[in-house]
Amino acid sequence: MNDTASDSIFDLSVNDIQGKAHLLEEYKGKVLLIVNTASKCGFTTQYQGLQALHDQFSSRGLVVMGFPCNQFGAQEPGNEQEIAQFCSLTYNVSFPMFSKVDVNGSEAHPLFKLLKHQAPGILGTEAIKWNFTKFLVDQTGKVVSRYAPKTAPADIAPDIERLLE
Protein backbone atom coordinates (compact mmCIF):
# COMPACT_ATOMS: atom_id res chain seq x y z
CA MET A 1 0.00 0.00 0.00
CA ASN A 2 1.57 3.27 -1.03
CA ASP A 3 2.09 6.28 1.22
CA THR A 4 0.79 4.73 4.41
CA ALA A 5 3.15 3.55 7.07
CA SER A 6 0.70 1.07 8.53
CA ASP A 7 -2.00 -1.40 7.70
CA SER A 8 -3.79 -0.57 10.95
CA ILE A 9 -6.25 2.27 11.30
CA PHE A 10 -5.25 2.50 14.96
CA ASP A 11 -1.71 3.63 14.08
CA LEU A 12 -3.05 6.77 12.39
CA SER A 13 -3.74 10.24 13.74
CA VAL A 14 -6.50 12.68 12.76
CA ASN A 15 -7.33 16.24 13.73
CA ASP A 16 -10.76 17.06 15.09
CA ILE A 17 -12.68 20.01 13.70
CA GLN A 18 -11.10 22.25 16.35
CA GLY A 19 -7.64 21.19 15.13
CA LYS A 20 -6.73 18.93 18.07
CA ALA A 21 -4.83 15.76 17.14
CA HIS A 22 -6.29 12.38 18.09
CA LEU A 23 -4.75 8.94 17.74
CA LEU A 24 -7.32 6.60 16.28
CA GLU A 25 -6.20 3.96 18.78
CA GLU A 26 -8.50 5.74 21.26
CA TYR A 27 -11.35 4.15 19.27
CA LYS A 28 -10.09 0.55 19.62
CA GLY A 29 -12.98 -1.71 20.59
CA LYS A 30 -15.56 0.61 18.97
CA VAL A 31 -17.44 0.17 15.70
CA LEU A 32 -16.67 3.15 13.44
CA LEU A 33 -18.72 4.61 10.62
CA ILE A 34 -16.35 6.94 8.76
CA VAL A 35 -17.92 9.32 6.24
CA ASN A 36 -16.58 12.02 3.94
CA THR A 37 -19.09 14.84 4.30
CA ALA A 38 -20.04 18.13 2.63
CA SER A 39 -22.40 20.94 3.60
CA LYS A 40 -23.64 21.88 0.13
CA CYS A 41 -24.27 18.47 -1.43
CA GLY A 42 -27.46 16.78 -2.52
CA PHE A 43 -26.69 14.14 0.12
CA THR A 44 -26.13 16.66 2.94
CA THR A 45 -29.46 15.70 4.51
CA GLN A 46 -27.77 12.39 5.38
CA TYR A 47 -26.35 14.24 8.39
CA GLN A 48 -29.82 13.61 9.85
CA GLY A 49 -29.56 9.87 9.33
CA LEU A 50 -25.98 9.76 10.57
CA GLN A 51 -27.05 11.58 13.73
CA ALA A 52 -29.92 9.09 14.13
CA LEU A 53 -27.42 6.19 13.96
CA HIS A 54 -25.27 7.98 16.54
CA ASP A 55 -28.28 8.44 18.81
CA GLN A 56 -29.37 4.82 18.40
CA PHE A 57 -26.02 3.04 18.75
CA SER A 58 -23.40 5.26 20.42
CA SER A 59 -24.21 3.91 23.89
CA ARG A 60 -23.44 0.41 22.54
CA GLY A 61 -20.11 1.35 20.99
CA LEU A 62 -20.70 3.02 17.60
CA VAL A 63 -18.73 6.14 16.72
CA VAL A 64 -19.88 8.04 13.63
CA MET A 65 -16.97 10.12 12.30
CA GLY A 66 -17.48 12.95 9.81
CA PHE A 67 -14.61 14.15 7.63
CA PRO A 68 -15.48 17.24 5.55
CA CYS A 69 -14.08 17.14 2.03
CA ASN A 70 -14.14 19.78 -0.72
CA GLN A 71 -12.97 17.53 -3.57
CA PHE A 72 -16.38 16.92 -5.13
CA GLY A 73 -18.00 19.90 -6.82
CA ALA A 74 -16.44 22.26 -4.24
CA GLN A 75 -19.40 21.40 -1.98
CA GLU A 76 -17.54 22.01 1.27
CA PRO A 77 -16.05 25.50 0.78
CA GLY A 78 -16.19 26.63 4.42
CA ASN A 79 -13.49 26.55 7.05
CA GLU A 80 -13.68 24.24 10.06
CA GLN A 81 -15.49 26.78 12.24
CA GLU A 82 -18.14 27.37 9.57
CA ILE A 83 -18.56 23.62 9.01
CA ALA A 84 -18.92 22.92 12.73
CA GLN A 85 -21.48 25.70 13.08
CA PHE A 86 -23.46 24.46 10.06
CA CYS A 87 -23.51 20.86 11.36
CA SER A 88 -24.54 21.93 14.84
CA LEU A 89 -27.19 24.49 13.89
CA THR A 90 -28.69 22.72 10.86
CA TYR A 91 -28.54 19.06 11.87
CA ASN A 92 -27.76 19.14 15.61
CA VAL A 93 -24.72 16.93 14.94
CA SER A 94 -23.18 15.62 18.15
CA PHE A 95 -20.96 12.89 16.70
CA PRO A 96 -17.27 13.72 16.19
CA MET A 97 -16.41 15.92 13.23
CA PHE A 98 -12.85 16.23 11.99
CA SER A 99 -10.74 18.67 10.01
CA LYS A 100 -11.32 18.98 6.30
CA VAL A 101 -9.36 16.36 4.34
CA ASP A 102 -8.69 15.16 0.83
CA VAL A 103 -9.89 11.61 0.24
CA ASN A 104 -8.43 11.12 -3.25
CA GLY A 105 -5.18 12.04 -4.97
CA SER A 106 -1.63 12.51 -3.74
CA GLU A 107 -2.76 14.63 -0.79
CA ALA A 108 -5.37 12.11 0.42
CA HIS A 109 -5.34 11.66 4.19
CA PRO A 110 -3.63 8.40 5.23
CA LEU A 111 -6.87 7.27 6.88
CA PHE A 112 -8.73 7.39 3.57
CA LYS A 113 -5.84 5.76 1.72
CA LEU A 114 -6.08 2.87 4.16
CA LEU A 115 -9.89 2.65 4.04
CA LYS A 116 -9.93 2.65 0.23
CA HIS A 117 -7.21 0.03 0.07
CA GLN A 118 -9.03 -2.28 2.50
CA ALA A 119 -12.44 -1.77 0.86
CA PRO A 120 -12.21 -0.95 -2.85
CA GLY A 121 -15.32 0.21 -4.66
CA ILE A 122 -17.06 -1.17 -7.71
CA LEU A 123 -14.76 -3.02 -10.11
CA GLY A 124 -11.95 -2.77 -7.59
CA THR A 125 -11.39 0.96 -7.97
CA GLU A 126 -10.13 2.62 -4.81
CA ALA A 127 -11.15 6.17 -5.70
CA ILE A 128 -14.02 7.69 -3.76
CA LYS A 129 -16.64 8.85 -6.24
CA TRP A 130 -18.55 11.50 -4.22
CA ASN A 131 -19.42 12.95 -0.83
CA PHE A 132 -21.02 10.72 1.80
CA THR A 133 -19.15 7.54 0.91
CA LYS A 134 -19.26 5.52 4.12
CA PHE A 135 -16.85 2.96 5.59
CA LEU A 136 -17.93 0.62 8.39
CA VAL A 137 -14.99 -0.48 10.54
CA ASP A 138 -15.16 -3.22 13.17
CA GLN A 139 -13.76 -3.16 16.71
CA THR A 140 -10.39 -4.51 15.52
CA GLY A 141 -9.94 -1.75 12.93
CA LYS A 142 -10.85 -3.84 9.88
CA VAL A 143 -13.04 -2.29 7.19
CA VAL A 144 -16.14 -4.48 6.98
CA SER A 145 -18.11 -2.61 4.30
CA ARG A 146 -18.00 0.36 1.98
CA TYR A 147 -21.26 2.10 1.09
CA ALA A 148 -22.08 4.35 -1.84
CA PRO A 149 -23.10 7.98 -1.28
CA LYS A 150 -26.70 7.14 -2.18
CA THR A 151 -26.90 4.50 0.58
CA ALA A 152 -29.08 5.96 3.32
CA PRO A 153 -27.58 5.77 6.81
CA ALA A 154 -30.67 3.87 8.04
CA ASP A 155 -29.85 1.09 5.54
CA ILE A 156 -26.54 0.52 7.35
CA ALA A 157 -28.22 -0.02 10.74
CA PRO A 158 -28.55 -3.84 10.37
CA ASP A 159 -24.81 -4.15 9.62
CA ILE A 160 -23.98 -1.98 12.64
CA GLU A 161 -26.34 -4.05 14.78
CA ARG A 162 -24.56 -7.28 13.75
CA LEU A 163 -21.14 -5.85 14.69
CA LEU A 164 -22.38 -4.65 18.07
CA GLU A 165 -23.86 -8.02 19.09
- Known catalytic residues are 41
Give the gyration radius of the chain's Cα atoms. Answer: 14
Give CB contacts under 8 A, 24+ apart, made by 13-17: 14/67, 14/98, 14/99, 14/109, 14/111, 15/98, 15/99, 16/96, 16/97, 16/98, 16/99, 17/68, 17/80, 17/83, 17/84, 17/97, 17/98, 17/99
φ, ψ for residue 130, nearest 5 deg: -165, 175
Axis-axis angle for helices 80-91, 46-57 (nearest 10): 70
Q: How many CB atoms are located within 10 Å of the residue 53 CB?
A: 19
